Structure 1
Amino acid sequence: MTSIRATLGTAWRRRAGWQKATIVLVAMFGVLCSGLVTLGLAAKHRYESRVHREDILGNGTAPRDEGRWARGPLNLLLLGSDSREGEPDQGVYPGQRSDTIMLAHLNAARDTATVVSIPRDSYVDVPARAGSWDGGPNKINAAFALGGASLAAETVHRLTGVTIDGVLVANFAAVRSIVEALGGITVCLPHEVVSTDTGTRWLVGCHQLDGRAADDLVRQRHNVPGGDFGRIHDQQLVVRAIAEKVTGESLLTNPGRLDRLLTTAAASLTVDEDLDLTALALAVRRVRPESLRFVTVPAVDTNLATPAGSAVRLDERRSAELFAAVREDGLDRWIAANPQASTPN
């Protein structure tokens, strides 16, 4: 452990600017470590060996052109899984839902990342899965329960038309561990949030959150402006706060804390079996917290009555334009024409 921490500290300080950029990915995904590139084979094995792998994109959802990691835009699907043991509609993956669904687009210049949040209750077409689901309309987060990350990825691919280059699935509970490993984060809220779980009230303004409080905040959607859209917004704020904390100078001089962060992140992650984490870290090395952008897929009805319960109907025209902008690497134009509100309605 001592030698690995010494290696972490030396390599981190030697290439601090470069490394700080890659560790932003930890914040974006809440899971990935940046030490894979510069810390040598021993450190690489220490973290990468903790990452779980499974066949997520084997159905042809992703290309197999390895050159895509070296050039051009990239699209990564980020899923936050949350256990809901005891629910009646458990499907093949008991009690699991992808409560956080984000499509992260890295532009061709590799210096800007845009995270597109898809509301978990979006009523979409979920493809059939033999033995568990005949296919048809359903809430998008049900795809994970019906067919795991593989069906969730196929559902997002069909909805957006976007080619998915990689999938990362994080245990939602890992938010607490990651924030604790960082020593807490500062989140500034533009609206009041009241926890239905603990009764905690966060007023408008900035708050210092430990892991327990951060975990509590990102789960709230009832006493939040905009309901689930408000929760999406708060999740984005927590991601940005983590990004700012992991790129701060204090982490650079604390190899022990850095090691705990990377170990926690790696152990919380499931990725596609063909995803090269080193190539991915290299691809995002120029991304900075200030170049992280967040948008939410537009909707026209957040209380749509369906056989699956109250759901979200996406704005067909504006959503199609957003997805086209992702495919064509033209998000600058879409964001300029569709500014995001600071507080969701």
Structure 2
Amino acid sequence: MTLRSVQMCVATLSVIVLATTGYAWGTLREFTSSISGDLRINNERDSPDGATDILLVGKDSRTDAQGNPLPDEVLRKLRASDAGGHLTDTMILLRIPDDGEHARAVSFPRDTMVDMGEFGTNKLNSALNRKRVATLRELKAEGVTDERKLARESRIAGQQFLMDTIEDFAGVSIDHYAEVNLLGFYKLTQVVGGVKVCLKNPVDDPNSGADFPAGTQTISGADALAFVRQRHGLPRGDLDRIVRQQVFMSGLARKMLSAGTLGNHAKLRELMNALGDSVLLDKDWDVLDFATRMQDIAAGDITFETIPVEMTGPSSGLAADPSEVRRFVDNLLLPPEEREAARREAERAEQLRAETEVNVYNASGVSGLAGRVRDDLDEDGFERGAAANAERMREESVIRYSSDREAAELVSEELGGITVEQSSQPEPGTVSVYLGDDYQGPGARKFTGTGGVRLDGRTTNRALGTHGDGSEQLGDGKSITADGVPCVN
């Protein structure tokens, strides 16, 4: 069982709430200095990207914020064993545009396969620990024996490497880093008096300890941990767990931004104590300055998203195209009206795909290539056409159409930008793809699989149940915000 990144966004929101109340600013400044870690972020090499980006990381660690092991009685309360490690599971990137009027929290599923440079392609949740272990070995080889120094330096290296990996993958410049553990989340949910959630169906999962009836209910403590940890028995496994986390975070934000919490000084003090057990911030984060810029954000202006992924990828991971992820993350900063325009464009593109038959011809000599590419296009929503060998080989790939250039361009986007040309041969409503020796797109690099559809801001991800802009579709066609209690699996 693993804890997900719901805690980090919660912790950050908690700090924001504490600061924006105007209560005990001097105390808060002292408090935030006590939870600052050793990580320093230097983004001088990065150009401004229009937002403050905060990486929120949850480690399934059985220690407190100072690295001390949690007692057995505490672990029993948390329904956790003592076998936690340094995997970071799902990460959340909180994007706050420079105008400070809204916030977007985007989840990075833990099993997303990413390029880690020196470590090759691996699941994202292993990045921090891979670098931590490698650095630990290097330091020991250099003769370092001080255990505190070994732990500190290797931890910082892992944190920095995780940030670098996500920056490269998502095309952002991370400004701040927050990390939380199990115990603080447990305490935090109790301090606020629980969070209201809604389930479509009853659940009973012994793996996570989740045992809830269907319908609306208020949960806290160990039950809250079980709610956000469950993935066994859910239709889409880890992806449904992410939705759980997002609706829980939205509920907690709503609860904490309510007058009942903000006006209760005793609860604010309890929140500080809970966060002291749970969160580490980067060393140079001026939380008070940050909070001043966040004061105008209301509950309904915090929206939760998930990056576009394929549910089946290499090594049982989730496949994701970095270029599509970068476009998606960039689009999070668009004003609502522009995002709505992008959503409408995506719906039109989906309809055009469904109306376009694509025939694929292998002119490269690579065995089975046409069939793999046709399957990929079928998953992307195009009408299934023929897959066959071409009459002659070609060096360059080409897509031919008779009257439907827009449809041909959609096919080209899916296949990596193949040249499009008009021809009298394909019938109206049909596009012909000829794969030459130069083809390196989906199918050639095994970027295929069932159950998922790639998303680039113009397509609709049917398998993940999202709109074309990537927002989760929970039955009402809206993104997850802190303004309501949507029912989930």
Partner of 1:168: 178
Partners of 1:253 and 1:305 lie apart in 2 by 50
Task: Indicate how the Cα distance of structure 1 residues 330 and 303 shifts in structure 2: closer, same or farther if over 3 A, else same.
Answer: same
Match in the other structure for 1:154:
164
CA drift of 1:186 comes to 0.9
Q: 1:188·1:207 contact (CA, 8 Å) conserved in 2?
A: yes
Q: Report the AA paired with residue 281 of structure 2.
A: V
SS at match of 2:222: helix
How far apart, CA to CA, are the structure 2 residues paired with 1:139 and 1:31?
Answer: 29
8 A contact 2:331–2:339 mirrored in 1: yes
Aligned residue number for residue 330 of structure 1: 334
SS at match of 1:32: helix
Q: Is the 8 A contact 1:219 1:231 kept in 2?
A: yes
> Residues of 2 paired with 1:192 and 1:316: CA distance?
37
Matched, 1:50 2:182: no
Separation of aligned partners in 2, 1:331 and 1:316: 23
Percent identity reads: 25
- Counterpart of 1:74 (choices 52, 55, 59) is 52
- Counterpart-to-counterpart distance in 1, 2:262 and 2:170: 39
SS at structure 1 position matched to 2:164: helix
Amino acid at match of 1:270: L
What does residue range 1-345 of structure 1 map to in structure 2 within 5 Å?
Answer: 27=10, 29=12, 32=15, 34-36=17-19, 38-40=22-24, 42-58=26-42, 73-83=51-61, 95-127=85-117, 134-147=118-131, 148-190=158-200, 192-197=202-207, 199-300=209-310, 302-306=311-315, 310-315=316-321, 318-326=324-332, 329-330=333-334, 332=336, 333-334=338-339, 337=343, 338=468, 339-342=471-474
- Partners of 1:199 and 1:48 in 2: CA distance: 33
Which structure has the highest strand share of the two? 1
Partner Cα separation in structure 2 for residue 191 and residue 331 of structure 1: 35
Task: Call closer, same or farther: CA 1:206–1:117 in 2, change over 3 Å.
Answer: same
Cα distance between partner residues in 1 of 2:202 and 2:309: 23
3-state SS in 1 of match to 2:55: strand
Cα distance 1:115–1:40, how it changes in 2: closer, same or farther (>3 A)? same
Counterpart code for 2:327: E
Deviation at 1:46, TM superposition (A): 4.2
Inter-CA distance 145–62: structure 2 relative to 1 (3 Å threshold): farther
The residue identity in structure 2 corresponding to 1:153 is M
- 8 A contact 1:192–1:204 mirrored in 2: yes
Residue 224 of structure 1: how far off its partner (Å):
1.8
Give the whole-Å Cα distance in 1 for the aligned partners of 2:266 and 2:62.
34
CA RMSD of aligned residues (A): 2.9
Spell out, residue by residue over 1:252-273, the C-alpha distance to the aligned partner (whole angstroms, 9 max, x if none): 4432122101221244211111
Please tell me whether Structure 1 or Structure 2 has the larger radius of gyration of its CA atoms. Answer: 2
Work out the CA distance in 1 between the residues paired with 2:112 and 2:58. 16
Query: Normalising by the residue count of structure 1, what TM-score does the alignment of the two structures yield?
Result: 0.76
Deviations 1:237-288 (A, max 9, x none): 1111111111223224432122101221244211111211111111211111
Q: After the TM superposition, which of the residue ranges 197-206 and 108-117 deviates more from structure 2?
A: 197-206
Change (3 A) 1:193 1:286: farther
Alignment-mate amino acid for residue 322 of structure 1: F
The amino acid of 1:54's aligned partner reads: D
2:29–2:288 contact (8 Å) kept in structure 1: no
| CA distance 1:258–1:202, shift in 2 (3 Å) | same
Contact map agreement 2:14 2:256 (CA 8 A) in 1: no
**Could you say if the C-alpha distance between residues 279 and 33 of structure 1 is closer, same or farther in structure 2, counting changes exceeding 3 Å?**
same
Greater RCO, 1 or 2 (C-alpha within 8 Å, sep 6+): 1
**Structure 2 contact 14–271 (Cα < 8 Å) conserved:** no
Structure 1 segments unaligned to the other structure (5+ residues): 1-24, 86-93, 128-133
CA-CA distance at 1:112 after TM superposition: 0.8
